[in-house]
Amino acid sequence: MARPYPQAPTLKHRGPSLSGPAGRLTDMDFSLTAELQALSDEATRVGRDATLGLDITEDSWLRGVDHGFPKVMAEHGWLGMSLPTQWGGGGRPAIERFVVVEALISQGAPLASAWFADRQIGPTLLQFGTDDQRHQFLPDIIAGTSAWCVGMSEPDAGSDVASLRTRADRDGDNWVINGSKVWTSGAAESAWCYVIARTDATAAPHAGLSEFIVNLRTPGVEIRPIRDMTDDHHFCEVIFDNVTVDGSMLVGNLNGAFKQIMRQMEHERGGIDRLVSNRRLYLDAVAQAEATGLLSSNPVLRDEFARLEGGYRIGRMLVLREVLGQAPKGFSAVTKTWCTEFEQRVANFCGAIAGPGTMIWGRTARNICYAPGYTIMGGTTQILRNIIGERLLGLPR
Ligand SMILES: Cc1cc2nc3c(=O)[nH]c(=O)nc-3n(C[C@H](O)[C@H](O)[C@H](O)COP(=O)(O)OP(=O)(O)OC[C@H]3O[C@@H](n4cnc5c(N)ncnc54)[C@H](O)[C@@H]3O)c2cc1C
């Protein structure tokens, strides 16, 4: 039995064109370069070391909190890797960050308290923030010392962001925020929240929204963790009751949040985190099934194993297209749909390997209960399929 592919490859095209004389694919080299492979190996080792002796949390990018681990990442230069050196970043190609985070999350490394900052907030401040905001926030993000959360969803506004009701009203040079957010991952562990609020109640729903950086220690902020059915409480309700925010904490254009959100969503939907959330569980389950001979003796499991191995490679190619800037605009809807449905199949496959053992509360059972969330968070699959149909394929509404 072949071992599961530990690190799927980058697409390195060596031939002069993708199709040869008879339209045949010419030589494609799917392997990592030696430098990237070494980087991946190192990240795998660091990630594995960080999980030794831990009861591993699947979705470690979202739920694996260890405030010390981001500092380890920072020591390796793995935070802000592709931010410009001018702002203290590593100035490294996006593919290097891809290789590192793929390896770390695949090992279940506890990087959640750095994740939103590294994945979204750094690039957002770079694109839309002011120089003052970059000076104030990027150093801590790159040092792994500031945790952020994203306050977008509300009790009555999830898929339809344009209907959100949290308000920010001007008060001299400041803004005063009132409202509530829900499902805010990591809020209880964070210092800062990136909040979307309505700043013009008279404008069309999508036209009156703005983005703010809010210090979660400000008076008037209340954070209530929500316990999910796996007994985890990583996401929270966050209440804003007359929370005063300095005017300098507005990010980007006043009333221009909707456009900015669409750009940020590309970071959120097209990344490798959407493919490898439960990869460590998968690697462990496959190793166990190989050791017991289950995979070689059970044709149904073997068949699904082969499909998953193929599915992983396809998902990885989709993510790579995003990372390398080769994906068309909006294509992250396709990438996230494929990858998160893949993660749900992985959870079921691990359950099939554990068999009746799944009934005993543990990693596999937790992941099966949690897996429906993969196709909800970051935009539901139904909404993404609407985007694919209407915006990418131009189908009629
Ligand atoms: C684990 C997890 C972590 C999360 N973390 C965060 C976070 O950190 N920050 C944050 O802001 N949010 C977070 N969320 C919230 C997430 O973004 C929302 O749950 C998601 O956008 C869906 O919104 P909703 O729950 O309000 O469902 P709704 O929008 O009410 O949708 C309910 C159902 O109706 C379907 N539906 C709605 N509209 C349409 C339509 N037009 N066409 C077809 N079907 C439709 C949806 O697909 C869904 O099945 C998280 C969610 C989860 C599960």
Residue owning tokens 């294509």 = 331
The whole-number average pLDDT for the span 318-325 is: 94
User: Is 337 a residue whose pLDDT tops 80?
Assistant: yes
Report the distance separating Cα 9 and Cα 41, nearest Å. 13
Q: 34 to each of 48, 76, 78, 105, 143, how far by Cα in Å? A: 21, 18, 18, 21, 28
Asked whether 130 lines ligand 1 (CB < 6 A), one says: no
**Helix, strand, coil in percent for the chain, rounding step 5:** 50, 15, 35
Ligand 1 proximity of 382 Cβ (cutoff 6 Å): yes
Query: What's the 376 CA to ligand 1 centre distance in angstroms?
Result: 5
* Residues 367 and 278 sit within 8 Å (Cβ to Cβ): yes
User: Is residue 159 lining ligand 1, measured as CB closer than 6 Å?
Assistant: yes
Closest approach atom of ligand 1 to CA 159: 29
**pLDDT tens digits, 151-178:** 999 999 999 988 999 999 999 999 999 9
Q: What is the mean pLDDT of the chain?
A: 92
Distance of CA 345 to the CA centre of its chain: 18
- In the chain the first and final C-alpha atoms are separated, in Å, by 47
For the stretch 234-261, pLDDT in tens is 999 999 999 999 999 999 999 999 989 9
- Please confirm, yes or no, whether 266 is among the known catalytic residues: no
pTM: 0.92
* Region 23-31 average pLDDT: 66
pLDDT at 57 (0 to 100) = 80
Per-residue model confidence (pLDDT) at position 280: 97
pLDDT tens string 70-108: 999 999 999 999 999 999 999 999 999 999 999 999 999
pLDDT at 172: 97
pLDDT at 22: 52
Indicate which residue of 154, 189, 268, 343 is catalytic: 268
Residue 168 phi/psi, 5-degree rounding, is -125, 120
**Nearest C-alpha to atom 24 of ligand 1 is from which residue?**
158
Ligand 1: residue of 150, 181, 183, 273 to mutate (most ligand atoms within 8 A of CB) is: 183
Q: What is the CA(100)–ligand 1 centre distance, in A?
A: 29
What is the whole-number distance in angstroms between the Cα of residue 228 and the centre of ligand 1? 15
Q: What is the pLDDT of residue 23?
A: 53
